[in-house]
Amino acid sequence: MNTFEDTLKKFMKATMVNQENNMVAIRNLETQVGQISKQLVEGQSGQVLANTQTNPKEHCNAITTESG
């Protein structure tokens, strides 16, 4: 095989894995921000001061790479 083609395939695979990992990290951050927001709205008294909506993305996906 051509070494350029091999290098390009490896780069494309690594880029896709990085993109998927970034998407998972963003979803996790969205969930965490939603949870913090909910805690702030509830305040110290434990009463909800505003209407909140539960984040439908409460699940977590994990992606592992060949190296890890």
SS3 58: coil
Q: What's the mean pLDDT in 18-30?
A: 97
CB 41 within 8 A of CB 50: yes
The pLDDT value recorded for residue 42 is 78
Q: What is the pLDDT of residues 38-65, one digit of tens each?
A: 888 877 555 655 666 666 666 666 666 7
Q: Which domain holds residue 34?
A: 1-68
CB 56 within 8 A of CB 48: no
What is the Cα–Cα distance from 29 to 31, expressed in whole angstroms? 5
The pLDDT value recorded for residue 18 is 97
pLDDT at 20 over 90: yes
* Count of other CB atoms within 10 angstroms of residue 21: 15
The pLDDT value recorded for residue 2 is 84
What is the Cα–Cα distance from 24 to 43, expressed in whole angstroms? 29
The pLDDT value recorded for residue 46 is 59
Structural domain tally of the chain?
1
